[in-house]
Amino acid sequence: MKSRFDAGSDSFRVCHNNIPNFDSLAFYYEKNNFEPIWAKDLTSSESAFTILKYIKEAKYHGLNPEFYKYSLTTGLINDFYYSMQKSKIDYKTLADIEMLLSDAVIGYSSDIQYGMVNPQKLDTGGYTLPVKNRNATSLFEPLKAENIGEYLAKIQPKTNRYISLQNHLKEYYEIEKKGGWEKIPNITKSITKGDTSKLLDKIAKRLLVSKELDEKNANNKFSVYDSSLIKAVMKFQERNGLLPTGIIDNNLVLKMNIPISDRISQITYNLERCRWLDYSDTARYIQNNLAAFEFKLIENKEVKLKMKICCGMKRERDYDKKLVVFRKSHRREDEPKNHETPTMTSVVEYLILNPKWNVPGRIAQDEMLWQIKKDSNYLAKRNYKVYLKDSLMDPSKINWKQYRPEHMPFKFVQDAGDDNSLGKIKFMFNNRFNIYMHDTPNKKAFLYANRAVSHGCMRLEKPLELAEYLIKDNRNYTIDDILIEIGQTPKDKTKLNRYRIRQEQFKNNKSMRTTSTVMLKKKIRLFVNYITCWVDESNVLQFRDDVYEKDKLIKDVFNKRLNFYKYDKVVRRK
């Protein structure tokens, strides 16, 4: 073993350069007098085969067994047994096996507990969720375990979100083993209820494989697009982030034709995300899933409130390359746009009713200035005030044509009101990105499948329902108080008189623009995450488009690691 950990030695079949933990293992074995752990008695010890069993099943965690050199290790073990049959003990092969098993169990243990990568390094600036502390356990902990089987069983992920996703991964491997699903040809005309098409049987078979269509229809022939098939199509649309119209069009066909191998990969990327997470299944919290454009308020594993959200627009194409150019030139026209909502965590602490909107400088420069030049009444119609530093300005006396976006000195504030871009309620939580959740007067965007339409903040479909839930612990303050304050009819009819008085004040414009704050008696944790595949409350596997291309980041890491550990890069030729 001592010579095995001599970095200068080239007499062993396995090259040390592609053993990730070689230096650490050399240190550990030296401290322990190079005493073997696994290969001491390979013929009778179960430890080595226990490790290999877990590594073989790593595929059901979305981890390729070849990340841990499974084929190489089992091949060397077979070679060792072959030499034993000739009454010859190959100590060098035995030393290679020992090193590979130790490297594998260290790598596997870390990946299972913490994920293959640190997401905060993978997605710099875009991932600020809490992650598990990788330094909480010693690198050598699995090498010191008295019973490696018990140790590996103990460290398996046990959250509901992980296990349910893992179970569906096993199902998808079975589907793949049976051949996956047949590709459906593109259609020339959308198919609606009552239409006939030769493609209906192919579509039905596709839906049977992924279980949107009940098995009792397995032998049915579909010549007419009927209600049973429509229902299955709508289920497929819902679980794939499409609008559940029941119409068969090319968008639907494209989703159906995504290969089973790609769907398996998508599940593996999200299992990796699950291994990063450091928040409970049972706590009271809000989870906004940016990839799904969805808000959930969860308490004791139960979804108390669910709604659609809109989030930030996707960053510009080739953003990273353009950012390099901008950092060199420092020219405003070279600065690429990035409105993606970041993943993050915070605590919702208070509400703002009838909020004003302080327009961010970039929006004012890029989107408002040209509108002001085009329409002299643009600001007045939308209740904007103009400030130069802290001084209120008269916009009609400003020569807007003389200002270019990069040299515009003015700030804009939109007063509270029906047209305010933040709507009637803003939900506030501390964060370095200056984003928040809010109401919106523009409800049309909630009808879209892709709702990445904002400048980074999260628009809520049902802000009043959230407000009602959050203030239920506030004494002597109800949803009716909020409704009256924002100019809506209270639920409690005894408060109608107070509402009418307030409405008169609104009509007289005495307090229409009064902005007020409601502190929450019981604050709530917020997690903003990005998950493109998960299992919902009905045990249905959900898929969403990788709108921010964050799955690609994980895919690149997986592929890079697999390429790094290729057999021909690890084994020396004899």
Span 28-78, pLDDT tens digits: 999 999 999 998 777 667 899 999 999 999 999 999 999 999 999 999 998
CA nearest 107: which of 61, 146, 42?
Answer: 61
Q: What is the pLDDT of residue 9?
A: 66
The pLDDT, as a whole number, for residue 340 is 95
User: 128 and 107, same structural domain?
Assistant: yes
**62 and 91 in one domain?**
yes
Return the number of other C-beta atoms located less than 10 Å from residue 394's C-beta.
7
The reply to whether 474 and 407 lie within a common domain is no
* Residue 449 counted as domain residue: yes
**Within a domain: 408:** yes
**Last residue of a domain, which of 256, 276, 311?**
256
Q: Provide the pLDDT confidence category of residue 511 given band limits of 50, 70 and 90.
A: very low
**Does the residue 466 lie in any domain?**
yes
Phi and psi torsions of 323, nearest 5°: -65, -35
pLDDT score recorded for residue 526? 96
Query: Cβ neighbours of residue 354 under 8 Å, at least 6 residues apart?
Result: 416, 417, 420, 424, 485, 486, 513, 514, 515, 516
For residue 455, what are the domain limits?
292-353+435-529
> 3-state class of 304 per DSSP?
strand
| Residues 479 and 391 both lie in one domain | no
Same domain, 497 and 447: yes
| Pairwise CA distance, residues 555 & 265, whole Å | 8
Q: How far is CA 296 from CA 287, 305, 518, 526, in A?
A: 5, 6, 22, 10
Q: Give the residue ranges of DSSP H helices in 277-382.
A: 319-329, 361-363, 369-374, 378-381
Residue at which a domain ends, from 141, 158, 175: 158
Is the model's pLDDT at 141 over the cut of 80?
A: yes
Task: Tell which wins on pLDDT, 132 or 193.
Answer: 193
Domain-located, residue 167? no
Are residues 458 and 318 both part of a single domain?
yes
Q: What is the pTM of this model?
A: 0.92
Residues 348 and 362 in one domain: no
Alpha carbon distances (Å) from 519 to 296, 459, 472, 511: 21, 20, 12, 21
Query: Is 120 in contact with 273 (CB distance < 8 Å)?
Result: no
Q: Check whether 132 has a pLDDT greater than 90.
A: no
CA-wise closest residue to 353 among 523, 498, 520, 526: 520
Helix or strand (DSSP H, E) at 347: strand 344-353
pLDDT of residue 137: 79
3-state secondary structure of 336: coil
Contacts 24+ apart (CB under 8 A), 534-538: 534/161, 534/165, 534/270, 534/289, 534/292, 535/161, 535/164, 535/165, 535/167, 535/168, 537/303
Number of domains forming the structure of the chain: 4
Domain membership flag for residue 561: no
Residue 440 and residue 404 in one domain = no
Q: How confident is the model at residue 426 (pLDDT cuts 50, 70, 90)?
A: very high
Q: Is residue 263 part of a domain?
A: no
**Shared-domain flag, residues 337 and 483:** yes
User: What value does the mean pLDDT of the chain take?
Assistant: 91
Interval 444-458: pLDDT, tens: 999 999 999 999 999
Both 369 and 398 in one domain: the answer is yes
Could you tell me if residue 397 is inside a domain?
yes
Domain boundary residue, one of 206, 239, 256: 256
Ordered DSSP codes for 99-146: HHHHHHHHHHHHHHHH-SS-HHHHTTTTB-S-B--GGGS-TTHHHH-S
Nearest CA to 421 among 392, 382, 391?
A: 382
- Distance, in Å, from the CA atom of 362 to the CA atom of 434, rounded to the nearest integer, reads 14
How many other C-beta atoms can be found within 10 angstroms of the C-beta atom of residue 483?
21
Co-location of 62 and 194 in the same domain = no
State how far the Cα of 69 lies from the Cα of 64, in Å rounded to an integer.
Answer: 9
pLDDT for residue 200 is more than 80 = yes
Examine the domain organization and report whether 20 and 42 are in the same domain.
yes
pLDDT for the residue 278: 74
| Percent share of the chain, pLDDT over 90 | 75
Domain containing residue 213: CATH number: 1.10.101.10
List, for residues 522-554, the tens digit of each pLDDT value.
Answer: 999 999 999 999 999 999 999 999 999 999 999
In a domain, residue 171? The reply is no
Residue 308 CA to residue 294 CA, distance in Å, equals 5
388 - beta bridge partners?
A: 391, 410
pLDDT at 378: 95
